[in-house]
Structure 1
Amino acid sequence: MADEIKDLGAGFWNIRGSFKVGGVLDVGAQCSLIKLASGKFIFLDSYELKDEVRDTVMKLTNDGQDVEAVLNVHPFHTVHCEQMAKDFPQATFYGSRRHPEQAPNVDWSDDLVESEAIAKRYPELAFSMSKGIYYIAPDDSVHAGSLLVYHPASKSLHVDDTFMTPPIKLLDAVLPEVVLQPDTKKALKDEPDAAKQYCDWATQLAHDWDVRNFCAAHTHLITFEQGQFKETLLNTIDSARPKLEKAQ
């Protein structure tokens, strides 16, 4: 999977990259670059920038000097954090409590990425923590929970794992779809109403965020028409709700 950077407008760029499971199956990776009102930049997630994509990012960010922070929003996406810290040594790195354990050579901020302090620091963004499922599951193989980030100016949603798109990209133009991460059932918290919490949270998000650019980590970027994301996500949740509630 070739690396590429997509300009989604209003100061939001989505970078698509490669991540091979077992060195063979390329499931893809992403990070996003956002220009703030101050003129500075932040990244959502870490990725090792290479070749033309790296050149483009460095040109946009004054050779990286204008990157003020990297917000690592998924606790289990840690592979590229240390390289990112080398590339942008002046940036503040925010992560979950799991990030310092997995990338100990990064100078991590004491403020967790999911904290209210970060949400207040970046009013250009809207944050939403997945509810009813573990953000950091006891089972390290379960990665359904994440901190979702919405950029209202470009109507772009950056999401790792929690919501995905089917792998067959050719269908997007005809029937764009949002699917749940396959381990969502396993990620449900040990609480009587966890499934309801999750479904209610996703339903509210569908109503609150007018998403046009859907940037998913391990599938791809797709574009929705007005109202299409809301309809698609609501249909997905309505279909999944009985199965999730039965699983508890």
Structure 2
Amino acid sequence: MTEKLVDLGNGFWSIRGELKLAGVVDLGTQASLIERPGGGFVMLDSYTLPPRVLEQVRKLTDGGRKIEAIVNVHPFHTLHCEAAHRQFPDAKLYGLDRHKEKYPDLPWEAETTNSEECQALFADCLEFSVPDGIRLVCSSEHIHAGSVLAYHPASQTLHVDDTLSCTDLPFPASLLPMSGRLDFHPTIPLSLEKREGAVDDFRAWARNIAQRWSDCRHVACAHSKIVTMEPDGFEKQVLAALRRAETPLKLRKAAPF
């Protein structure tokens, strides 16, 4: 994934980043920049902006002074928290408990990203949703399905890390049906809360966001690309992804706690 700033219109810019495995394979990562109605800006997720992108962001934000907050939405996306704070030291820093545990010396705000108190601070430009029925942090650090989803109604853009993902395959594999579509993260079943009703709660949550954000036209996925869809495409794709997840969800539901 080439590092770049993508203007999706109406005050939303997607920052496409790099995350190289063993220094070779680029898994991709992301951040997003949102302009608030009052002229300030919010950054979703932390990323070390390379010089060209940093210059673009500074031009948009009066040298970075208009970036009011950096809001981290995935508990395991922590690599760039320190660097983002260095690049924009005046921005308030919000994160989940794991961010604070990982970097206790950073000046974190008291409100965690998954709290109603934090989300209310940005209600002028963003809607948030925390998946029901699954854990944000599991005992295994290889399970990264849980995150806080952030929707920007003005641009009809959803910023999501891992919970919803897209497999972006090169040609000729791009011809396969799974390429380019939205899917729930394959570790969702392993992320389920160990209680009765967790699967049903997750299903209900998925159906709710499909309907609530049915006007969504762009989904910025962390490790692949921006998925652009036709009207009503988001609802159809989320419900289709839920149907594909039914077998592993049912198996997990039947397993003993």
- Fold conserved (TM > 0.5)? yes
Provide the residue aligned with 1:214 in structure 2: 219
Q: CA RMSD in A?
A: 1.6
Correspondence 1:36-51 to 2 at 5 A: 36-51=36-51
Aligned mates of 1:128, 1:110 — CA distance in 2 = 19
Do residues 186 (structure 1) and 187 (structure 2) align?
no
Q: Distance in 2 between matches of 1:185 and 1:113?
A: 23
Residues 169 and 192 (structure 1), Cα distance of their counterparts in 2 relative to 1, 3 Å cut: farther
Q: Which residue of 1 aligns with 2:107?
A: 107
Question: Greater CA deviation, 193-202 or 78-87?
Answer: 193-202
Q: Equivalents in 2 of 1:76, 1:176: separation in Å?
A: 24
Deviation at 1:101, TM superposition (A): 1.6
Tell me, yes or no, if the aligned pair for 1:149 and 1:158 is still in contact at 8 Å.
yes
Tell which deviates more after alignment, 115-124 or 65-74: 115-124
1:166-205 alignment runs, 5 A limit: 166-168=167-169, 171=174, 176-205=180-209
Scaled by the length of structure 1, the TM-score of the pair is 0.95
**Farther off after superposition, 78-87 or 96-105:** 96-105
2:163 alignment partner in structure 1: 162
Structure 2 residue runs of 5 or longer lacking an equivalent are: none
**Native 8 Å contact 2:42 2:68 kept in 1:** yes
Is 1:8 paired with 2:8?
A: yes
Match of 1:150 in 2: 151
The reply to whether residue 235 of structure 1 matches residue 236 of structure 2 is: no
Which residue identity lines up with residue 51 of structure 1 in the other structure?
P
Over 3 Å off, 4+ runs: 169-172
Report the secondary structure of 2:33's partner residue: strand
The answer as to whether partners of 1:14 and 1:32 remain within 8 angstroms in 2 is yes
Aligned-partner residue type, residue 131 of structure 1: D
Which residue does the alignment assign to 2:62? 62
Higher mean C-alpha deviation, range 110-119 or range 70-79: 110-119
- Pairs aligned (count): 247
Q: 1:24 — aligned with what?
A: 24
Aligned to 2:71: 71
Counterpart residue number, 1:246: 251
| Equivalent residue letter for 2:112 | L
Q: Deviations over 1:25-81 (max 9, x none)?
A: 211000000000110101000000012211100000001011110000101100000
- Asked if structure 2 preserves the Cα contact closer than 8 Å seen for 1:10 and 1:153, the reply is yes
